[in-house]
Structure 1
Amino acid sequence: MNLALKKSINFYPLEQGIYHVYDASTSRHFKLGEQEVNWLKLLDGKTPVEALRGLIPLEYFDKFIKTVQHLDLLEGESKKEPFSPLKIKVFNLDPSRFIDNSGKFALYFSHFLNWCSLPLLVINVLMVALLVPQVQNIRETLTFDTFTVIFYFFAILVTGIVHEGAHALVAKSFNVKVPQVGMMLFFLHPSFYADVSGINLMSDRKKRIKVLIAGVQGNNLLMFLGLMLTFIPMGETALSYLLFFTAINFVLMFINLIPFVEYDGYYIFQELLGEPRFARNALVSQLTRQNQKIEYRAYFFISQLFQFILIVSMLVLIHDGVLLLWDAQWVDVLFLVLIVAAYPALMAFKIRSAK
């Protein structure tokens, strides 16, 4: 049988003589040399294996084919991207049309974030201190009604696009391909994502961290713009919604930097420790009672508590939204059952994933 490379395989130049290989069917990323990529392109499904032996040096042929099969790059051996109830993808698209045509904007934007994020953060803190009375009045002015819910999701849309766009643009500035962006339910909360996993193929850790922190820097920029707009004369209700928007960005900045759930902060935490898959290692350590490091134990218990609180918070928010449509007792009972079942379900999934 002739060997055929999967149609979902894409090749992107990364560095001199190095390619970023992306499998769209499994969302997996690989780093291969130019020679290996040229050999992969020979696997067109038409060229007989014996002919391939004449095109690929015999001393490398068997090992190369085994590697290709191990990486699941051939047609007929495809494995789908594993489903995660904590990360339910709603839709996705290829951002190449926008990102690849950004020209030098990506580079300029990256430099802007590097130089301006800290001053903007200082200004934001000072402005929030000045606006404390107005911020405290948000809860009194805003009510949990349909318009507020719509505004909340609109704010999430704007902040999500800017956050993930910042990740993508900074990745682009380092010549890292972003093959997919989209929306998902992350711990039941609508979230956006940009697949910047290609940064793991870069050898420079500082560059990887710059890409990972770019989203938070984007929220910091939005918060600054929102606070600047508060100086424009406006009604009390409009001001409350504007402050609500800035508060959402502040909360997202804070949550994204917490390393106890797989937001940006967790991946930055991994980079600083120099230990990939730290969360999984901590989980396996607790399940097997092996390699019982104190940092594993501390991380495991704190992360479980934080993730449980996050899920419960999302369920409570969804519960309040559903009550706007159906004010019935069965809604309370249903969500109470979901809250009780949340942690066991979370642990069961994590244990299965760790195996």
Structure 2
Amino acid sequence: MSEALLVLEDGRTFRGEPYGAVGRCVGEAVFSTGMTGYQETLTDPSYHRQVVVQTAPHIGNTGVNDEDGESSRIWVSGYVVRDPSPRPSSWRSRRSLGDELAAQGVVAIAGVDTRALTRHLRERGAMRAGVFSGPDAALPVPQLLDVVRSAPQMAGSALAEEVSTERPYLVEALGDRRFTVAAIDLGIKSMTPQRMAERGMAVHVLPASSTLDDVLAVSPDGVFFSNGPGDPATADDQVALLHEVLDRRIPFFGICFGNQLLGRALGFGTYKLGYGHRGINQPVMDRTTGKVEVTAHNHGFAVQAPLDGEVSTPFGRARVSHVCLNDDVVEGLECLDVPAFSVQYHPEAAAGPHDAGYLFDRFADLMTDARDGKDA
């Protein structure tokens, strides 16, 4: 049987079998703890230029369907699994996961001790990696290690515009239109405008390079910044746009990358986590209600802000509204003097859980309050 090789930038290697496409790929090795939702993970643009390790041992059980993708393609650079299902078993399945990976040219490796690999990444941190199969797997490891170490680091990478839509499009409200939202696509998942549409929001999805004039052209009741890949410290143009949105007191909601950019706009720093949060079982406390939510995460960067008390910012007072109960990472921000808030995790969470779906209602309430204030 042919062999595949996973090479980490610190020199550790894992041998396995080719899965998906045959060839080579490089990216940042990260692990995701979700036991379901692998199709949503693969098609999430936030995983652009990452080699995703699934900690759940059995992957591919339900195959791939035509409904659950979060975008039109697979975005991961490479994929690492332990025990792929030899055949899918679901009435919704249209093809196997291995066939889908191969069809989209995604190089993957199976038969890896993903428990040992995950423990290594937890101890050493996320790092660059390469998956090599076919003739490449027979090359000397030092040569493959040079390939891995020549790949760009995630820190300092500007990737949002690489995954953003090239032209605007509209997701119409379901039922009566109550609001119009300008959504800046930094790597948006398809379920996000769907969740807004369910609440009567018509969503104009705009490219990451959009200007204030582009935003105002759709006469929005609110502005949304999506999730996305890369280092938030590189997104100066989007932060400048957000400054203008906040100056005009247009209601704002941000998710994931959008949370990090709100943090930057308020004057906070951002930093890279050791190995990030990726999975669908992360406990977060909403400090507004005191409730604990089980949430979906995919982020390798976070906002550096004081966890307690109110902080003065260029846009008035702000505070940390949500915090991760595993490690006290900032998971949400709330402005007290302008209509803006954000969360680091994913309330749209197509694969679940759905504990945080109320945040879209909170956005609707923010736009209602702003409209009522204008009418008063």
- TM-score in same-fold range (> 0.5): no
Q: Name the TM-score class by shorter chain.
A: under 0.3
- Normalized against structure 2, the TM-score is what? 0.26
Structure 1 or 2, whichever has the larger Rg, is: 1
- Normalized against structure 1, the TM-score is what? 0.27
- Which structure is higher in strand share? 2
